[in-house]
Structure 1
Amino acid sequence: MDQFWREVEGSAERRLLEALGCGLAGLGLVLALVLRCVQLPYGRYSSSYFGPGLPARAAWFVQELPALLVPLVLISGAARLHHSPNRVLLGLFLMHYLHRALIFPFLIRGGKPTPLITFLLAFIFCLCNGYLQGRSLSNYAEYPPDWLQHPCFIAGFAGWLIGMVINIHSDHILRSLRKPGETGYKIPKGGMFEYVTGANFFGEILEWFGFALACCSIESAGFAMCTLFILASRARQHHEWYLEKFEDYPKSRKIVIPFLY
């Protein structure tokens, strides 16, 4: 395996990674436009048209796992991981997916089946992004020795940390809406839900924009933009659904960006 990566390493792969980073941003924009016409089939919007349903916990665990495992595989023989900034930045990425793959799925209460197509798309995305971020940080990204004291890293790390906390807290609020045995939907309250419908999405968007600022790379910026486009579309879908279903839904709440959108 080490021999394989030594053979592919070089300027051509570096250009490929940068192209994939730009491609992620473009993909996010295209999907955002598509999702204005087609509902993303997951959760309350699941449909049999997108394939048979898979158990929610198992689907989430498997689809997120590549983003955790692929970078770990790439660590072997990595050229840049003896530098502290690269190790720390890769650690931030892995911490997110450690939670999303190994903790979050087992906190799901019930959960509607995940359509096969939705699962496959998420799996492929995590596989490709795991390679993109992992390979970039482990072999190509270069930082000065004092990068961890640089304002970009400090501000980016703060954004990443605050975003992750908001994301986890918002997911907890959503899980706590129903008491054991209850069904149906309720209006989320508390935390960032007082400001936006997609509080969990806002947290993840902030997290990855913080990560992009801390990394200052095309690959991380492309990932952040893709996250923004897709999650903003999902938040808009939720917002319209809540407004239609609940007459008393707070009209002052924005969709996903507090006070702005």
Structure 2
Amino acid sequence: MEAAAAAAAALPCPVWSAAFWRRLSGPEEQRALELASYVLAGCVALAALAGSGMRLPYGRYSAAFMGAGSLPARLAWLLQEAPSFLLPLLLVCRSEGAQLHRWPNRILLGLFLAHYAYRSFIFPFLIRGGKPTPIFTCVLAFAFCSLNGYLQGRSLSNYVEYPTNWLKDPRFILGIAGWLSGLLINIHSDHILINLRKPGETGYKIPTGGLFEYVTAANFFGEILEWSGFALACCTVESRVFAFSTCLVLTTRAHHHHQWYLQKFENYPRCRKILIPFVY
């Protein structure tokens, strides 16, 4: 009987079992999460540097990259963004969540899940006439969202310990305000872009209203503000790397958008900045 029990204990635990997460968790995993975050930041930085002169092939820039196959825009958005919602949720359900009894951890993880619930399961079905997304672009986004979802979900649910007064800390308060402001700007800007097209239309128009009166990429500004606020409220390596990656990728994308609008529309407002009102 003892030999059988020892043999059973030596067997690999399935990833969905609580025993698997108990065996994996500990200081070693916490260090691994931070190391993985730095590796992710390095990969994003190298990709941004290599692609600084090339427009990332999705949306308006996808036409020239369809040789390897593509997916409908709605399906691509759903598939690539969903891991950022589903993986943290799975981690909470299948692991002990040692830190989830703390309100800061609950709130911050809830904010992350709220964003990706919108981005994964609401936004894709609001898209009108979106261009197909190349499969390899969707795969890259899926990989990033999977790793980032794991990093944010695992660190907040199991490892990050905040002071007892963290909810009153200026960093937490300002960070939450930044997150909420960014989310509202992002959603409002999405609404403006989506409603530029009437049902059945597929072309592009000059966006107006909201922060689009001041910048070309108001939606990107909102997302950068959102995750910068999240990083300030979290104060973790994982959240800072996420904010850094978001800023790097979307700043490059915003620059490409601005140049594209200037080339395509002769009447495009020359006074508009690229990303940050009155600054850049």
TM-score bracket for the superposition, by shorter chain length: over 0.9
Structure 2 CA distance for partners of 1:50 and 1:77, relative to 1, 3 Å: farther
| Counterpart amino acid of residue 149 in structure 1 | K
1:221 match: secondary structure = helix
Residues 1:6 and 2:25 are matched in the alignment = no
1:76-105 Cα shifts (integer Å, max 9, x gaps): 311110111100010010000000011101
For 1:50 and 1:119, how far apart are their aligned partners in 2? 14
State the 1:249 CA deviation: 1.0
Residues 1:65 and 2:82 are matched in the alignment = yes
Greater Cα shift, 140-149 or 197-206: 140-149
Out of 138, 144, 154, the residue aligned to residue 119 of structure 1 is 138
Out of 196, 201, 211, the residue aligned to residue 182 of structure 1 is 201
1:130-167 Cα shifts (integer Å, max 9, x gaps): 10000000011110122111110100000000000000
Structure 2 CA distance for partners of 1:259 and 1:216, relative to 1, 3 Å: same
> What's the TM-score once normalised by structure 2's chain length?
0.90
Out of 45, 52, 71, the residue aligned to residue 54 of structure 1 is 71
Q: How does 1:123-138 map to 2 (within 5 A)?
A: 123-138=142-157
Which residue of 2 is the match for residue 21 of structure 1?
A: 37
Contact 2:85 2:120 in 1 (8 A): yes
| Counterpart amino acid of residue 2 in structure 1 | A
| Counterpart amino acid of residue 164 in structure 1 | L
- Between the two proteins, what is the percent identity of the paired residues? 63
State the 1:50 CA deviation: 6.0
| Counterpart amino acid of residue 276 in structure 2 | I
Residues 1:88 and 2:107 are matched in the alignment = yes
State the 1:168 CA deviation: 0.5
Query: Greater RCO between the two (CA within 8 Å, min separation 6)?
Result: 1
Contact 2:128 2:197 in 1 (8 A): no
State the 1:247 CA deviation: 1.4
1:161-198 Cα shifts (integer Å, max 9, x gaps): 00000000001100111223434211111111111111
State the 1:49 CA deviation: 5.1
Out of 96, 99, 124, the residue aligned to residue 105 of structure 1 is 124
State the 1:27 CA deviation: 2.6
1:230 match: secondary structure = helix
Contact 1:28 1:225 in 2 (8 A): no
Structure 2 spans left out of the alignment, 5+ residues: 1-16
State the 1:33 CA deviation: 1.3
State the superposition RMSD in angstroms: 1.2
Which residue of 1 is the match for residue 91 of structure 2?
A: 74
Q: How does 1:27-38 map to 2 (within 5 A)?
A: 27-38=43-54
> What's the TM-score once normalised by structure 1's chain length?
0.97
1:233 match: secondary structure = helix
Contact 1:41 1:50 in 2 (8 A): no
Contact 1:65 1:97 in 2 (8 A): yes
Contact 1:27 1:226 in 2 (8 A): no
For 1:102 and 1:192, how far apart are their aligned partners in 2? 25
- Number of residue pairs matched by the alignment: 261
Structure 1 spans left out of the alignment, 5+ residues: none
Larger radius of gyration: 2
2:42 match: secondary structure = helix
For 1:235 and 1:109, how far apart are their aligned partners in 2? 21
Which residue of 2 is the match for residue 207 of structure 1?
A: 226
2:84 match: secondary structure = helix
